[in-house]
Amino acid sequence: MMYEIQNDVFYDFLKQYDSDSECHLAGEVDYHLLHDDNPYEGLNSHRKALLAVFEQLVKRDAEDQEKAGKRRGDEAAGQLHRLGYDIDKAQPAPLDPQTFFYCPEIVKTDYYGNVFYDADWKPDDDNFGTFVPYWYALMEPVYGGKNKPEDFRKVNGVLFPEGTGKLDIYEWTTDWSDYFDDGHEWYGASCWTIYDENMNRYVVMLVSATD
């Protein structure tokens, strides 16, 4: 059985980055930790982890709708959008850990607070609303303070305390759920699943944001 881990030191650690959200956020990355009672089955287990997370998101939406109904009436609750998804349409591609955890350094910060990195990937008109790399999603949130390369390394050090050498990582398409609609509109959308053999747990990371 695949299920989300409800309490973990990593979640406590993330509160310094966003203490108010119901999600476990650093930058624009929403982290979900999971455990499976069954043995690891490669890609099939990754898809199960993704399904478990979206089942939980739908359950949370239903609970929010019920709360809204109690506060403002059924008509107001009915106006809330219910999350839709089709996991079978999600297409995976394996990622090398060294590529995934790439983190550029800061070249300069201008008068207006814009940060410039020594990275090949840069936000521009061609890639707005599409894929964003992990480092950018963590270090460059839409609102609030930016995170630095040392924050990127610190977050991943706590998330993967046994190191990243035995991680299986998949990047997924994002055209199979309206969860990613906000990201497609402007900032970008990304979806990754990671199996950590040392910890025997899964990490699902979701990114979707707009201004």
Q: Which tens digits make up the pLDDT trace of 76-127?
A: 545 556 799 999 999 999 999 999 999 999 999 888 888 899 998 988 888 8
d(CA 120, CA 104): 9
Domain ranges, ordered by start, for the chain:
2-209
pLDDT at 78: 53
- pTM, two decimals, is 0.91
Give the Cβ contact number of residue 57 at 10 Å. Answer: 18
In the chain, what are the helix, strand and coil shares in percent, each to the nearest 5?
35, 25, 40
**Confidence class of residue 195 from pLDDT cuts 50, 70 and 90?**
very high
CB hemisphere CA count around 117 (13 angstroms): 17
- State whether residue 105 is helix, strand or coil: coil
Tens digits of residue pLDDT in 43-56: 999 999 999 999 99
Q: Is the pLDDT of residue 72 over 70?
A: no
What is the predicted pLDDT for the residue at 64?
66
Enumerate residues 6+ apart whose C-beta is below 8 A from 100. Answer: 134, 169, 171, 192
| Percent of all residues in the chain with a pLDDT value above 90, rounded to a whole number | 73
